[in-house]
Chain A
Amino acid sequence: MLIKKPDDIKSSEITDRKLYLTRRNFMRGVALAATTTATALVYRQFGVPAPPPVKGEKIEGVQTAEQASSFPPPPGEARTSYEEITNYNNFYEFSTGKTEVAGAARGFVTRPWTVEVGGMVAKPRVFDLDDLLKIAPLEERVYRMRCVERWSMVIPWVGFPLAKLLAQVEPLGSAKYVAFQTLLDPKRMPNQRSDVLEWPYVEGLRLDEAMHPLTILASGLYGETLPPQNGAPLRLVVPWKYGYKGIKSIVKITLTDQQPKTTWNISAPREYGFYSNVNPKVHHPRWSQAKERRIGEFGLRDTLPFNGYAEEVAQLYAGMDLRVNY
């Protein structure tokens, strides 16, 4: 190997000091820019995806809450925006990331769709969805929705009382509970391939809870058909209970004399009971339920007993210890 002694190097070969420093600074600039860009790109992988466009179809002939002057009046609280309602969802069949459900559920096909209503009833029947939605006039119901995770929204649903559907099938005197089941189809609901919960998702109500006029089956929100991420084409809404009781994409409703199994209770019985009534005094083992963050607000609100519907529903639980029956 030839090693040049200093005096062998011609002065013309020596890089000019100024040029050397310029080059060095240039390389350093490149290194800095390249690494920070890479870091930024990696960070971006874990960010909130941009909301995909959602387009529901307008539902004709819906009585607005004001027009219907029906029970209950809309709460005097601002409605949560459509974009927030449709881009912050717990729907584990599509994704466990609340901001990712909207994207994962895009293109979910909801026609044809049937709902089987049976069990302890005089007239069991399989309803085609479009027939089912004609059982009763659709009306707007503006309800508070309190998630067990301590956030809440105010949502203008479109739907009709579950009681109207149950009347069609004539529950037997022996029926005490109503069990609900979500569609099971891993091809259309890809996260059903994971074992994060037991599939299909199941929920249940006591018959008197199911017959309560506040309990509705919803097929729309903000006057349009439900987008997939909110439980299309048909979901349950029970406003005085935590959000997960509102089972989505229902295919089966069964009347029974046994207390139905419920998905979250199977997953973590100590944390999620059958009743799951909103209760600021009964805490989740891992967080307090005394307060909630209304989506779109900075501060916290006090959580109300039965989510503010105590006047309407508290008598359903008269004499029950709500700490035991959480």
Chain B
Amino acid sequence: MFAPDIKFTRFVLFMNGLVPAALLAWDAYHHKLGANPIEFATRATGVLTLVFLFVTLAITPLRKLTGANWMVKLRRQVGLYAFFYGCLHLLTYVWFDKFFGAREIAEDVWARPFITVGMASFLVLVPLAATSTSGMIKRLGGKRWAKLHKLTYVAAVGGVIHFYLGVKADTTTPILFAVVLALLLGYRWVSSRMDATATKSATLGIQTPPR
């Protein structure tokens, strides 16, 4: 089985994750973000957050389908990139849209579901990023840690709803994201059902035909 040098692969991943941020900064500096650069940066960082979240969610299915177990060693880094772009996304809003006006932000979060859902989804990511170190996994214990990190699903679903609520009429892209997310989460549901059936059959002494 092919298993790449994980240290080097992580480095490649790290550099690739930086590419969108670097290009965004480059384009901003060279005035290549169109007439409304702030709107573009907000949208781009928001979409990137979802993309990286989706990649973390894709690792388990890919690993199981291909048997490439080493992939799981890359997940933390992808997840941290999701958090990184989420921070940038929040920053574009808090800074360029509200200019750090706490009252206005509170008003928005309170009165506008579009913002409420987005903010909640971001806040869900904070404990996940904070407990991403190996030390925290040990302190929490693998099982509890894994349970906590199921919150990724909540953040992803919330993020897609936030995206959907933010567009005016053309919902094509948010719906595409919703479909991909449904596949990623659907895979987990189906595979857990199949595992449950297999366990049940085994305890009842029924032989299941090999899949």
Interface residues of A (CB under 8 A from B): 28, 31-32, 35-36, 39-40, 43-44, 46-48, 83-84, 87-88, 92, 96, 98-99, 149, 151, 194, 196-197, 267-268, 285-288, 293, 295-296, 298-300
Q: Do residues A48 and B112 form an inter-chain contact, with CB atoms below 8 A? A: no
How far is the CB of A106 from the nearest CB of chain B, in Å?
17
Q: Other than A43-B23, A98-B34, give 5 A-B pairs with Cβ distance below 8 A.
A: A46-B44, A47-B32, A197-B169, A286-B114, A298-B96
Choose the segment among B35-43, B128-136, B182-190, B194-202 that binds chain A (4+ C-beta atoms closer than 8 Å): B35-43
Instruction: Please give the number of chain B residues whose Cβ is less than 8 angstroms from any Cβ of chain A in the complex.
Output: 34
B12: chain A residues within 8 A (beta carbon): 31-32, 35
Choose the segment among B14-22, B143-151, B152-160 that binds chain A (4+ C-beta atoms closer than 8 Å): B14-22
How far is the CB of B161 from the nearest CB of chain A, in Å?
13
CA distance A61 to B33 in the complex (A): 36
How far is the CB of B38 from the nearest CB of chain A, in Å?
7
Interface residues of B (CB under 8 A from A): 8, 11-12, 15-16, 19-20, 23, 27, 32-36, 38-40, 44, 47, 96-97, 99, 104, 107-108, 112-114, 165-166, 168-170, 172
How far is the CB of B64 from the nearest CB of chain A, in Å?
24
Q: Do residues B20 and A88 form an inter-chain contact, with CB atoms below 8 A? A: no
**Contact among B11, B15, B112, B169 for A286, CB-based, below 8 A:** B112
Q: Do residues A28 and B8 form an inter-chain contact, with CB atoms below 8 A? A: yes
Interface of A is mostly: loop
A149: chain B residues within 8 A (beta carbon): 168
A sample of 7 inter-chain contacts (CB < 8 A) reads A35-B16, A36-B16, A46-B47, A84-B35, A87-B35, A197-B169, A293-B39
CA distance A38 to B147 in the complex (A): 35
How far is the CB of A297 from the nearest CB of chain B, in Å?
10
CA distance A194 to B169 in the complex (A): 11
A40: chain B residues within 8 A (beta carbon): 19, 23
Q: Do residues B16 and A299 form an inter-chain contact, with CB atoms below 8 A? A: no
How far is the CB of A232 from the nearest CB of chain B, in Å?
19
CA distance A12 to B39 in the complex (A): 63
Closest 9 CB pairs of A and B: A88-B35, A96-B170, A48-B34, A84-B35, A39-B19, A99-B34, A286-B114, A39-B16, A196-B170
Q: Do residues A47 and B169 form an inter-chain contact, with CB atoms below 8 A? A: no
Q: Do residues B168 and A48 form an inter-chain contact, with CB atoms below 8 A? A: no
CA distance A133 to B99 in the complex (A): 46
Closest to A88 in B: B35
Q: Do residues B33 and A268 form an inter-chain contact, with CB atoms below 8 A? A: no
Contact A151-B39, Cβ < 8 Å, known A32-B12, A286-B114, A288-B107: yes
Q: Do residues A267 and B169 form an inter-chain contact, with CB atoms below 8 A? A: yes
Contact A87-B36, Cβ < 8 Å, known A286-B112, A286-B114: no
CA distance A75 to B8 in the complex (A): 59
Closest to A271 in B: B168
Q: Do residues A151 and B16 form an inter-chain contact, with CB atoms below 8 A? A: no
CA distance A99 to B18 in the complex (A): 25
How far is the CB of B117 from the nearest CB of chain A, in Å?
11
**Contact among B16, B36, B107, B112 for A293, CB-based, below 8 A:** B36
CA distance A32 to B12 in the complex (A): 6
B39: chain A residues within 8 A (beta carbon): 151, 293
How far is the CB of B22 from the nearest CB of chain A, in Å?
9
B27: chain A residues within 8 A (beta carbon): 47-48
**Contact among A47, A83, A87, A293 for B38, CB-based, below 8 A:** A293
Closest to B8 in A: A28
Q: Do residues B19 and A36 form an inter-chain contact, with CB atoms below 8 A? A: yes
